[in-house]
């Protein structure tokens, strides 16, 4: 029979704070990337890169006037 070790509830909730941050970052993006950096099995950094997409008609207008 295997024994499952459970973390104390406070430890679990602090471990899941990174998940809330990831969800917030994803919801704030229209286009982009949210990257999770892990070290020794723990999330140590969250990076967000936001992209701006131009409408094809806007791009054509900018190119034609340049």
The pLDDT tens digits of the residues spanning 6-50 come to: 445 455 556 789 999 999 999 999 999 999 999 998 899 999 999
Q: In the prediction, which pLDDT does 64 show?
A: 58
pLDDT at 62 over 70: no
pLDDT at 56 over 90: no
Q: Does 3 reside within a domain?
A: no
Q: Does 47 reside within a domain?
A: yes
Judge contact between 2 and 10, C-beta under 8 A. Answer: no
- Domain holding 26, by residue range, is 10-65
Which one-letter DSSP state was computed for residue 59? H
Q: Does 27 reside within a domain?
A: yes
CA distances from 44 to 1, 11, 39 (A): 34, 16, 6
Q: Does 4 reside within a domain?
A: no
Q: Does 43 reside within a domain?
A: yes
Q: Does 55 reside within a domain?
A: yes
Other CB atoms within 10 Å distance of the CB of residue 46: 15
Q: In the prediction, which pLDDT does 6 show?
A: 47
Task: For CA atoms 8, 6, 13, 9, give the dihedral sign.
Answer: negative
pTM to 2 decimal places: 0.59
Half-sphere CA count of 29, side-chain side, radius 13 A: 18
Q: Does 5 reside within a domain?
A: no
Q: In the prediction, which pLDDT does 8 show?
A: 52
Q: Give the chain's domain count.
A: 1
């Amino acid at each position: 029979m295997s024994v499952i070790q459970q973390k104390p509830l406070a430890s679990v909730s602090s471990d899941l704070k990174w998940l809330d941050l990831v969800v917030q970052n994803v919801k704030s993006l229209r286009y982009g990337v949210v990257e999770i950096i892990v070290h020794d099995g723990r999330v140590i950094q969250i990076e967000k890169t936001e992209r701006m997409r131009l409408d094809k008609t806007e791009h054509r207008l900018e190119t034609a006037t340049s």
